[in-house]
Amino acid sequence: MSQSPRKRSGTPPPEGPPPRVSFTAEAAVGTPRPATRKALALAAIILGSSLAFIDSSIVGVALPAIQGELNASPGLIQWVTNGYLLALGALVLVGGAAGDRYGRRRVFIAGTVIFTVASVLCGAVWTAENLIAGRILQGLGAALLVPTALALIPVCFDSHERGRALGVWAGASALGAALGPVLGGWLTDAVTWRAVFLINVPVAVLAVLLAVFAIPESRDREAGSPDWLGAGLAVLTLGLLGWGLSAATEWGLASLRFWAVLTASAAALAAFLAVEKRARQPMLPLALFRSRAFTGVNLATVSLYLALSGVLYLLPFEWMRVDEVSATQVGAGLLPFAAIMGLGSPLAGRLAERIGPRPFLVGGPALVAAGLLLMIWPPVGADYWTAWFPGIVLLALGMTVTVAPLTAALFSSVDAHRASVASGVNNAAARIGGMVAIALFTLVLSLAFEGALQRADAGARLAAVMGGGGFQGAVSEVEKAAFRLGFQICMGVGALFALAASAAAALTAPKGPAPSAD
C-alpha cells in the first residue's frame, strides 16, 4: 500500500489523499501554546488512526470465540470481518473527498463518533447478524476518519515539521499493529471477546476531545461534492460479490442463485465504471489506469493482499480449534510478523530508493508464497517454533521487502499532482483484496471440508470445528483433520496469488530507481 511520497521508508501507507490545505476562520477550542497544541493534535490523529489500524488485527484473534458463542455458520462469521472491509474499501475515497468539502476536522470527528457508537453496539449484540450490522457501521466510520486523520497532519504541521510528525505517526501505528493481536487475544481469554470492541470507547472519546481542543478546521473551498453515486455503486458491486462467494458455501457453485448474484455484481461494476467515466470529480479516476505501471502496481496489491488476508483470517481458527491453543497464544504467535515488518520496512524502503523497487516487488511476493507453502506441512498439534515459526518469518520478510518499494513504484507511475489520488486507490485495492480473500478462502475451505467428510451435515460440522463445538456438539479428530486439509489447500491457493503478484510486478514494474518526489 502507499505512503507519503516524502516519507516512503518505514511509513505505513496513508489511507486517503492528503489535502489541498485551506483554513477557515474557525480555530481549535482554547489557546494553548503552539507547540503544545501541535503535540495534542498529533495525539488525536494517532488515536483516531489507531481505531481503524488495530481493529482488524485485534478482532481477527477473537473470531473463533465469537463464532462459538454466537453459533454462526462459516458463511456468516466471515462477514464480521468482511462487513467492515466492504464499507471501508468502498467508501474510503469518498470519505477523503467529504473531508475536503465539509471540513477535515468535522469529518474526522464524525467518523470517530460513528465508529465509537458502532463499537458499543458490537460489544452488546447477541446475534451474529447484529454484530455484522455493527461492523458495517464501524467500516463507515473508519472510511470517514481514516483518510481525514492523515490529511490533518499537513493542516497542523508546516513543511519543516511534517516529516517528523509522519515519523511519530508511523512508529505509533507500527507499535499498535504489533500489539493488536496480543491485546485481542488477552482480552478474549481474560475478559470476553466483547471487550475487543468496547476498548475502543475510551480511546475514541479522548481522540474527539483532543481534536476539538487542538485541531483547527480546514477545507478545500474549490472541492466539489463527493461522488456519492459512485460510492453507492461501489458498495453494491462489492456487496453482491461478497454475498455470492459467501453464500456459495450453502448454495453450491452450480446454483442458479450463485451465478445470478455474480452477474448482478458484474452489472453493478459496469454501471460504476460508466458513472466514473462521466463524473466531473470521480472517486476513481479511470485515466490513472492508462499507466501500465500503475495498473501493474494495483494488480500486484490486490493479489498480494488476497494471499495475506486469507492466511491471517484462517490462522486463528487453525491454531485455536485444531491445535487447541488459547487466544493469547495466537496473538503472541502473530507478534513476530508485526515485529519484523515494523523493524525491517525502513531498511527495505531505503534500499528500494537506491536500486529501484522492481527486485523487491518480484522477490517479496515470492517469499510470501514460500512462507505460505511452508504452512502446508505442519501436522495437527505441531510445535509452533519448529513447524509454524519459519513460515511466519518468511511471510513477514516477504511483506517487509514489498510494502515500502510498492509505494515507490506507485508514486513513480503517476504524475506528482495525482499522487494523493493514486494513494487512495491503492489502499482501497488492498482492502478490497482482503475482503475477496476471506470470502474466497472460506468457500475453498468449505468445499474441501465437505469433500473430505462426505456427510450431509458437513456445513454444520464445519461450523462446529470453527466455533469449538458450541451448540453443535463435540468435535472429532476426523473433523479436525478435514479442516486441516481445507487449510492446507487454502495455503496453496494463497501461494498462487502471491506468485501472481510477483508476476504482475515482473511484467510492469520499471527498472532502476524511482524518480525523486522532490
Note the pLDDT tens digit of each residue in 222-253. Answer: 777 889 999 999 999 999 999 999 899 888 88
Q: What is the pLDDT of residue 140?
A: 95
d(CA 496, CA 160): 44
Among 282, 299, 323, where does a domain finish? 282
341 in the same domain as 249: no
349 with 251, same domain?
no
The per-residue pLDDT of the chain, averaged, comes to 87
Domain assignment of residue 2, yes or no: no
CB-based contact 51:199 (threshold 8 Å): no
> Looking at the domain assignment, is residue 412 inside a domain?
yes
CATH of the domain at 94: 1.20.1250.20
Q: Which percentage of the chain shows pLDDT scores above 70?
A: 90
CB 330 within 8 A of CB 61: yes
**Domain co-membership, 344 together with 452:** yes
CB 514 within 8 A of CB 357: yes
For 112-146, write each residue's pLDDT tens digit.
999 999 999 999 999 999 999 999 999 999 999 98
Beta strands in 209-326 (DSSP E): none
Look at residue 482 and tell me if it is in a domain. yes
- Asked if residue 180 is part of any domain, the answer here is yes
- On the question of pLDDT at 468 being above 90, the answer is no
Query: Are 128 and 155 part of one and the same domain?
Result: yes
Residue at which a domain ends, from 254, 282, 310? 282
Do the domain assignments include residue 27? no
**Amino acid type, 175:** L
Q: At what angle do helices 104-124 and 128-156 cross, to 10 degrees?
A: 160
pLDDT above 70 for 256: yes
Total domains, the chain = 2
Q: Is residue 40 one of the residues assigned to a domain?
A: yes
Judged against a pLDDT cut of 70, whether residue 472 lies above it is answered with no
Q: Do 160 and 129 share a domain, yes or no?
A: yes
Task: Note the pLDDT tens digit of each residue in 153-190.
Answer: 888 888 778 777 877 887 777 777 778 888 999 999 99
Tell me if 8 is assigned to some domain: no
CA-wise closest residue to 133 among 61, 80, 184: 80
Boundaries of domain holding 338: 34-226+283-508
123 and 259 share a domain?
no
User: Residue-wise over 288-305: b if at least 16 C-beta within 10 A, else e?
Assistant: beebebbebbbbbbbbbb
184 shares its domain with 327: yes
pLDDT band at 515 (very low <50, low <70, confident <90, very high): low
The pLDDT score that the predictor gives to residue 501 is 97
pTM score, whole prediction: 0.86
Q: Are residues 200 and 313 in the same domain?
A: yes
Mean pLDDT of 386-392: 95
Q: Are 262 and 241 in contact (CB under 8 A)?
A: yes
Residues 319 and 337 in one domain: yes
Residues 334 and 260 in one domain: no
Computed over its alpha carbons, how large is the radius of gyration of the chain?
Answer: 22
Q: Are residues 272 and 357 in the same domain?
A: no
Are 277 and 309 members of one domain? no
Tell me the C-alpha distance between 509 and 376, whole Å.
Answer: 30
Indicate whether 72 belongs to any domain: yes
Higher pLDDT, 36 or 392: 392
Residue 63 clears pLDDT 60, i.e. is over it: yes
